[in-house]
Structure 1
Amino acid sequence: MFSPWPLPMRKKLDSTTDGWLCGFAGVLIFSGSLPATRLAVLGLDPVFLTGARATIAGVLGVLLLLSLRAARPARAEVWPLIIVALGVVVGFPLLTALALQHVSSAHAIVFVGLLPLATAVFGVLRAGERPQPAFWIFSAAGSAAVVAFALRHGIDASPLGDALMLGAIIVCGLGYAEGARLSRRLGGWQVICWALVISLPVMAPLAWWLRPASFAAVGAASWWGFAYVSLFSMLIGFVFWYRGLALGGIAGVGQLQLLQPFFGFVLAALLLHETVPPAMIAVTAVVIACVAGARRFGRSTLASAVANRTGTQRV
């Protein structure tokens, strides 16, 4: 069994607390994804970036699976792994990289506020979770604030960029829910590693084919962004995130993503010197308030039972 927490700390945590802590760690890591992607696409083609980051993370995934002697997934687990790969290895990175050619990272981060709702919906459809009715009120309120902001400040600026971000949120929500469901049987870190391995035969040739003729013009900032999305966004963050969703419940822990825009705004302002309008801060304040209410009503009976069982499995 593999866990991101050291053994002495792990013994002190019950499965629910462990799930929320892992989920929060994942959100912190993912908060840097859009600013880092924005830096990377300043000097690298977005399609090449998608293939290259998946290839690097996939090679590391192979080494991790071999070194820890992970069991191969069963035949019934292959199709869910393909869905995970299409959602979080290919779909979200590619669509966000394309979107960030049209919108700022601070603007794109606001759309991340829709991820909790998308993840919860797919948690119901794919994992059979049943949050209480009040959960949907809080979750929808947070998402509505994000959509209202986009309609007022984003659609006129770049309809294409906003459409790409909405598509990215949908496929990412599916990949999150499917990966969390599979993590209950296969294990959290194994899911992302196997999804990356499945993607390698496509992503490695794509990266090689689309590689720039010369990397001389690629600046240091782009390389730092590329390194971050390859290591943290594509692999390390998922080790924490899938474990968190599996232990704490997809709908409940998924609401932690409402905090991601706040952290992302800070990074965008510090690293990219982007202006964060007061309206963005107001939207973030609203969705952060909604996460508290959604958290209270987000844990279904099914999720509680599963979390208790997964405490002894390979999550």
Structure 2
Amino acid sequence: MQRTCEQLNRAPSKNLSGWFNGFIGVVIFSGSLPATRVAVLELDPVFLTVARATIAGTLALCLLVLLKSKRPERSQLYPLLIVAMGVVVGFPLLTALALQHVTSAHSIVFLGMLPLATAVFGVLRGGEHPQPAFWLFSVLGCTLVVAFALTQGLTASPKGDILMLLAVIVCGLGYAEGAKLARVLGGWQVISWALVLSLPVMAPLTWVLAPSSFPSIGTPAWLGLGYVSFFSMFIGFIFWYRGLAQGGIAAVGQLQLLQPFFGLALAAILLHETVSMGMFSVTGGVILCVVAAKRFAK
């Protein structure tokens, strides 16, 4: 009885920690698409994908060796490969290709679908079973984000839209699979081993696909590559997978609904773009949906 009470007391603390870690991850991810958009203006999208994976993979390898981290078991290799294909290769490559055809603002439409994709794969792969009301608020939050994006007068590209839709699907799978594995392997270990597994392929491709003239590439493109390599590809996932594992894939995944608005806020701060009252209104509605979804996630 006493042991059960202690477990119940620890549960709210772990849940809150999961939401806190997930929130930090979302804030870091918010700069990914703008940084990718800047980078692909001068860098080939395939090179950008393999280069960011190589840089992050090298960092992960050094960390694993330095901390003498235990190697994953053979049964964990397949899930790690799914994570690698989803978030190390799939999402970065597909979004980089898509952003050659659509603006980063247009991608908000698809980021609004990412929490729902993560929740669905959380049920299919993570064994989670949210209450029916969770799905209602999840869909409502996605609808608010998509509706806001569509009111911005965005131009469409069928090719770009298909690529972004595929990116959302593989990313949702990678998030759910990584979060499931993080429960036993650890958050930073999951993304680190996924990056290391992809390194034997990514590193040679980086060398082969490297630009013929590095001085011809502008500083903004290199800064974009640096951001998606260190923050989007590695540091952000440390917090994100830990948060999903602690607070639940479906529940904490709803924090992604805030990612488009964080991205717009960053644009306002760094690029001095105008932030409308409509943005604040929709953000408030999305926050309410996230809070409600959290309540019915278990």
TM normalised by structure 2 equals 0.90
Query: How big is the alpha-carbon RMSD for the aligned residues of Structure 1 and Structure 2?
Result: 2.2
Distance change in 2, residues 1:284/1:168 (3 Å) = farther
1:261 corresponds to 2:260 = yes
Partner of 2:5: none
Q: Provide the C-alpha distance between the structure 2 equivalents of 1:275 and 1:93, rounded to a whole number of angstroms.
A: 28
Aligned to 1:82: 81
Distance 1:38 1:154, change over 3 A: same
Q: Deviations over 1:171-208 (max 9, x none)?
A: 11100000000001111110000000011111112211
Structure 2 counterpart SS, 1:206: helix
- Name the counterpart of 2:245: 246
**Partner of residue 184, structure 1:** 183
List aligned pairs for 1:1-315, cutoff 5 A: 14-148=13-147, 157-271=156-270, 284-298=283-297, 300=298
Matched-pair contact (CA < 8 Å) for 2:105–2:149: no
Going from structure 1 to structure 2, the CA distance change for 1:125 and 1:23 (only over 3 Å counts) comes to same
**Cα distance in 2 for residues equivalent to 1:97 and 1:278:** 30
Distance in 2 (CA, whole Å) between partners of 1:284 and 1:277 is 11
How far residue 165 of structure 1 moved from its aligned partner, in angstroms, is 1.3
CA-CA distance at 1:145 after TM superposition: 3.2
Contact 2:108–2:149, Cα closer than 8 Å, also in 1 = no
In 2, Cα distance between the equivalents of 1:136 and 1:205? 43
For residues 144 and 247 of structure 2, the distance between their equivalents in structure 1, rounded to whole angstroms, comes to 25
- Structure 1 residue 27: deviation in Å? 0.7
CA distance in 1, matches of 2:82, 2:31: 24
3-state SS of 1:83 partner: helix
Tell me if the contact between 2:261 and 2:279 (Cα under 8 Å) persists in the aligned partners.
Answer: no
Count of residue pairs brought into register by the alignment: 288
Letter in 2 for 1:243: R
Would you say the 8 A contact 1:44–1:222 is kept in 2?
yes
Secondary structure, aligned partner of 1:105? coil
What displacement does 1:161 show? 1.6
Query: Deviations 1:66-98 (Å, cap 9, x if unpaired)?
Result: 111111111110000000000000011111111
Distance 2:133 2:252 in 1: 16
When structure 1 is superposed on structure 2, of 284-293 and 181-190 the one drifting more is: 284-293
Displacement of 1:150 in angstroms is 6.0
**Percent of aligned pairs with the same amino acid:** 69
Q: Deviations over 1:31-55 (max 9, x none)?
A: 1111111111121111100000000
8 Å Cα contact 2:90-2:167 kept in structure 1: yes
1: distance between equivalents of 2:27 and 2:213? 34
The change in CA–CA distance for 1:152 and 1:127 in structure 2 (over 3 A counts) is same
**Structure 2 Cα separation of the partners of residues 284 and 101 of structure 1:** 28
CA distance in structure 1 between the aligned counterparts of 2:276 and 2:65, rounded to whole angstroms: 47
Query: Are 2:25 and 2:237, in contact at CA under 8 Å, matched by a contact in 1?
Result: yes
Question: Equivalents in 2 of 1:194, 1:170: separation in Å?
Answer: 22
Over 3 Å counting, the alpha-carbon distance change for 1:280 and 1:204 in structure 2 is farther
Bigger CA drift: 230-239 or 271-280? 271-280
Which amino acid counterpart does residue 185 of structure 1 have in structure 2? Answer: V
The 8 Å contact of residues 131 and 297 in structure 1, kept in 2 or not, is answered as yes
Distance 1:273 1:91, change over 3 A: farther
In the alignment, which residue of structure 2 is the partner of 1:304? none
**How high is the TM-score relative to the length of structure 1?**
0.85
**In structure 1, what is the Cα distance between the partners aligned to 2:269 and 2:193?**
35
2-side partners of 1:167 and 1:149: how far apart? 21
**Alpha-carbon displacement from aligned partner over 1:101-137 (angstroms, at most 9, x marks no partner):** 1222122134212111111000000010011110000
Report the Cα distance in structure 2 between the residues aligned to 1:42 and 1:285, rounded to whole angstroms: 33
**Could you list the per-position Cα deviations for residues 142-163 of structure 1 after superposition, in whole angstroms to 9, with x for gaps in the alignment?**
2233444566767852122222
Cα distance in 2 for residues equivalent to 1:268 and 1:97: 19
Question: What is aligned with 2:4?
Answer: none
Deviation at 1:232?
0.4
Q: Give 1:268 deviation, angstroms.
A: 3.1
CA distance 1:48–1:274, shift in 2 (3 Å): farther
Cα pair distance change 1:109/1:275, threshold 3 Å: farther
Per-residue deviation at 1:286? 3.8
